[in-house]
A and B are shown apart, each in its own frame.
Chain A
Amino acid sequence: MTPLIIIIVLVIILIPVLLYNNLIRKKNAVENSFFSIDVMLKKRYDLIPQLVEAVKGYMIHERDLLSSLTALRQKAMENNLPTNEKVRLDNQVNNILQQIVVNFENYPQLKASENFLRLQGAINEAEEQLAASRRFYNAAVNDYHNAIETFPSSLVASLAGMSKKEYFTIRESEKGVPALNI
């Protein structure tokens, strides 16, 4: 009789522990996937000064846009920014980049520059990788949400105070070919 009671007690203790460990693994997966976005963001931010350098001689009317892009980049490169701030800055950078890209059309000389085209290719590539990282992050968040919202792990999650995470919004343009089409 006693061994049976021991087994039952062990199982009762073990189940919440296993559930908790599973939740922690999923939470860590979300954090790890955010790390991959961070790497890609940095890769893109590294390209911005080169882009500004390459176009500033041509794009006279967009000087304000270019200087705000540089300023935003500097802010984004600061260490220890909270996640929400990073996402907000990324969205702003995206917006300005889009506006600059639209205006490329007005400068045929730019399109003739080999250097500029190579740079534009590198940015396209960084954008694609960034889109992939964002989707990976969203998949990890989705997995985590499923775990904290479904019974019985939802009980452990509420006891441990685990809350929902934010999704990245994926722009329409990221669903297809590179954002910066030539």
Chain B
Amino acid sequence: MSLEKNFNTFYEKELQGLLIPLEAERKKIKKYGAAGFVLLGTAVILFIISAASHNKVSVVIAFVLLLAAFVLLIIFGNKKKSFAAGFKESVVRKIIRFIDPSLQYSPGLKISKADYLNSGLFVEQPDRYSGDDYIEGTHEKTFFCFSELHTERKVSSGKSTHWETIFRGLFFIADFNKNFSGRTYVWSERNPQINFLTKLFSSFAWNLEKVKLESVEFEKRFIVYSSDQVEARYILTPSFMERIVRLQQMMGEGTSLSFVNTNIHVAVPIRDELFEPAIFSANDHNRLGDFYNSINIVFDMIDELKLNQRLWNKE
């Protein structure tokens, strides 16, 4: 409640003024987009009509309209891109600084591909790897970083190829509060990667064993593999399992975790891009409030998992 109140005051004081010129610019860009889509729609309708009536003149007009729509949509795309970049630099950066001035925000960067692959949360090599909005910082004693990621595989069927998403969402890495040397994976039962083949490979190729844990609720939601049965239980204490269940309830059913190289990795599938400004609707209090909550949820995650409760041998 107090967080919300804080944000309201901050919004009125710092953001409202900043948003006035940005909103005017957004409305201009919106016009390009709207005009482009209307022209495109008209061109398509005209094509259908002229195909039915064999009218050559209307085909030519449809072509001209299509060309115009094409030009307008390219302009719209470029303007949208630079608007988003400017918006992130001014508004998103300000929100992040308000949450914690020590946070480093790099809109163009992302979690590295090596870190993504090291996490072991996604077993296949992506053919396309993209992402943005990288944030790193230290919450009390815990170093953490996260960014949006979108990883895809190329699927070829006959002559056509298309892209399928492997993971899209928030990818979070933090220093874990206990020392460990093995690898432990807490995959969501909903993770489409967990199939017969993965299970087979886990035991043979990756030298992992399935870990059966006591918590029924936890076992229903996750499937755990580890290179060390004792270490897996050292990490996943009964109370930590309860916290992971709560975390999944908070972040969504696809949330998976891994514990590799003394780090904890959390992958939270999210369909929408977190920090992209809207073009066809206002970037108002509600929308910016969503940005604010998205960043705060990472702090909630650290608190929920009690990553700040250090053992004595790990400072």
List residues of A whose CB falls within 8 A of some B CB.
33, 36, 40, 117-118, 120-122, 124-125, 128-129, 131-133, 135-136, 138-139, 142-143, 175-178
In the docked arrangement, what's the CA distance between A117 and B309, Å? 16
Nearest neighbor of A36 in chain B, beta-carbon distance: B230
In the docked arrangement, what's the CA distance between A111 and B213, Å? 36
Could you pull out 21 A-B pairs where Cβ atoms are within 8 angstroms?
A33-B230, A40-B230, A117-B312, A121-B311, A124-B312, A125-B311, A128-B178, A129-B230, A129-B234, A132-B231, A132-B232, A132-B233, A132-B234, A132-B237, A138-B214, A139-B229, A142-B212, A143-B212, A176-B238, A177-B239, A177-B309
When distances are taken between beta carbons in the complex, the residues of chain B under 8 Å from A129 are 230, 234
Given A121-B312, A131-B234, A138-B214, 19 extra CB contacts under 8 A: A117-B312, A118-B312, A121-B313, A122-B312, A122-B313, A124-B311, A124-B312, A125-B312, A128-B178, A128-B234, A128-B237, A131-B237, A132-B233, A133-B233, A135-B233, A136-B230, A139-B214, A143-B212, A177-B237
Given contacts A128-B237, A129-B234, contact A139 B312 (CB under 8 A): no
Nearest neighbor of A118 in chain B, beta-carbon distance: B312
When distances are taken between beta carbons in the complex, the residues of chain B under 8 Å from A143 are 212
List residues of B whose CB falls within 8 A of some A CB.
178, 212-214, 229-234, 237-239, 309, 311-313
Shortest distance from the beta carbon of A24 to any chain B beta carbon, whole Å: 18
The number of A-B residue pairs with CB atoms under 8 Å apart is 56
In the docked arrangement, what's the CA distance between A135 and B234, Å? 9
When distances are taken between beta carbons in the complex, the residues of chain A under 8 Å from B238 are 175-176
Name which of A33, A131, A132 has the most chain B CB atoms within 10 A of its CB.
Answer: A132
Nearest neighbor of B231 in chain A, beta-carbon distance: A132
Shortest distance from the beta carbon of B180 to any chain A beta carbon, whole Å: 10
Shortest distance from the beta carbon of B95 to any chain A beta carbon, whole Å: 34
Nearest neighbor of A123 in chain B, beta-carbon distance: B312
When distances are taken between beta carbons in the complex, the residues of chain A under 8 Å from B212 are 139, 142-143
Is A175 a contact partner of B234 (Cβ separation < 8 A)?
no
Shortest distance from the beta carbon of A171 to any chain B beta carbon, whole Å: 12
Is A175 a contact partner of B237 (Cβ separation < 8 A)?
yes
When distances are taken between beta carbons in the complex, the residues of chain A under 8 Å from B232 are 132
The 7 closest A-B CB pairs, nearest first, are: A121-B312, A132-B233, A132-B234, A176-B239, A175-B238, A135-B233, A136-B229
Shortest distance from the beta carbon of B181 to any chain A beta carbon, whole Å: 12
In the docked arrangement, what's the CA distance between A40 and B231, Å? 12
Given contacts A175-B238, A176-B238, contact A136 B312 (CB under 8 A): no
Is B312 a contact partner of A133 (Cβ separation < 8 A)?
no
In the docked arrangement, what's the CA distance between A35 and B178, Å? 23
When distances are taken between beta carbons in the complex, the residues of chain A under 8 Å from B239 are 175-177
In the docked arrangement, what's the CA distance between A148 and B229, Å? 22
In the docked arrangement, what's the CA distance between A176 and B238, Å? 6
Is B214 a contact partner of A128 (Cβ separation < 8 A)?
no
Is A120 a contact partner of B312 (Cβ separation < 8 A)?
yes
Is B311 a contact partner of A178 (Cβ separation < 8 A)?
yes
Nearest neighbor of A117 in chain B, beta-carbon distance: B312
When distances are taken between beta carbons in the complex, the residues of chain B under 8 Å from A176 are 237-239
When distances are taken between beta carbons in the complex, the residues of chain A under 8 Å from B237 are 128, 131-132, 175-177
Nearest neighbor of B312 in chain A, beta-carbon distance: A121
Shortest distance from the beta carbon of B253 to any chain A beta carbon, whole Å: 25
When distances are taken between beta carbons in the complex, the residues of chain B under 8 Å from A177 are 237, 239, 309
In the docked arrangement, what's the CA distance between A69 and B178, Å? 28
In the docked arrangement, what's the CA distance between A9 and B234, Å? 47
In the docked arrangement, what's the CA distance between A62 and B262, Å? 39
Shortest distance from the beta carbon of B223 to any chain A beta carbon, whole Å: 15
When distances are taken between beta carbons in the complex, the residues of chain A under 8 Å from B313 are 121-122, 125
Shortest distance from the beta carbon of A36 to any chain B beta carbon, whole Å: 5
In the docked arrangement, what's the CA distance between A119 and B313, Å? 10
Shortest distance from the beta carbon of B310 to any chain A beta carbon, whole Å: 9
When distances are taken between beta carbons in the complex, the residues of chain B under 8 Å from A124 are 311-312
Name which of B230, B232, B239, B311 has the most chain A CB atoms within 10 A of its CB.
Answer: B230
In the docked arrangement, what's the CA distance between A132 and B237, Å? 7
In the docked arrangement, what's the CA distance between A117 and B213, Å? 32
Shortest distance from the beta carbon of A41 to any chain B beta carbon, whole Å: 13
In the docked arrangement, what's the CA distance between A121 and B314, Å? 10
Is A133 a contact partner of B309 (Cβ separation < 8 A)?
no
Shortest distance from the beta carbon of B107 to any chain A beta carbon, whole Å: 38
